[in-house]
Amino acid sequence: MKIDNSFIVALPVAEAWTTLLDVPAVAPCMPGAELTAVEDERTYRGQVKVKLGPVAVAFQGRARLEEVDEAARTVRVKASGTETKGRGSAQADVTFRLQPDGTGTRVVIASDIALAGAVAQYGRAQGVIADVAQVIIDTFAENLRRQIAAREPAAPPVGRGAAPPMGAAPAPMALAEAPALSVFAVLLGLIKRWFGRLTGAAR
């Protein structure tokens, strides 16, 4: 599943770059994510929990900064994890590109997510898995935007045991500690997206 996001922050590229590379601060932007160990300066271990309806899955694995190109302001992260109860696995290949945008920075994120095993095969969910991946990455991008823009330490990982419910139109997404305004913005974005789908674009 290929998912693209981009946003602009009113920060010079150099500062945005520094914030992006602070992995322990950036990781919690991923809904349901928790960093559990640092293996070396490029490799991190962690867990991502996702809940879709009654199905709650947790992926445990490794994320590695495969390519860090300071000159081109590009980072490529490859992550892979297995579901903790043997229900499959997930791989993510995410490239972040920072480009100057006036005095600010445009952050472009290109994600490629692949699921395998039982998690990918549940027939009743086939039609929504891509949407769920989209919403997760959209939320990650939005959280990252706020993080870079505010240049504040990230909110703590969402509830040590809890995973935010996915695929839900009005249901709140992650960031228990985030400012109320941002949560509303995330909600509004989600609601707009879902209504956009339901009413359909002109065909």
Per CB under 8 A, residues contacting another protein are 52-56, 85-87, 118, 122-128, 132, 161, 165-171, 194, 197-201, 203
| 12-189-183-152 Cα dihedral, nearest 10 degrees | -10
Q: How far is the CB of 169 from another protein (least distance, A)?
A: 5
Nearest CB to another protein, comparing residues 53 and 153: 53
- Name 169's Cβ contacts closer than 8 Å, sequence gap at least 6: 190, 191, 194, 195
CA distance 107 to 20: 10
Q: How far is the CB of 50 from another protein (least distance, A)?
A: 12
For 84, half-sphere exposure in the C-beta direction (CA atoms, 13 angstrom radius) is: 10
| 173-23-25-168 Cα dihedral, nearest 10 degrees | 0
Nearest CB to another protein, comparing residues 102 and 200: 200
Q: How far is the CB of 190 from another protein (least distance, A)?
A: 9
Nearest CB to another protein, comparing residues 7 and 122: 122
Q: How far is the CB of 53 from another protein (least distance, A)?
A: 3
Q: How far is the CB of 2 from another protein (least distance, A)?
A: 17
Token output for 192: 């707009």
Nearest CB to another protein, comparing residues 102 and 170: 170
Nearest CB to another protein, comparing residues 72 and 184: 184
CA distance 169 to 165: 10
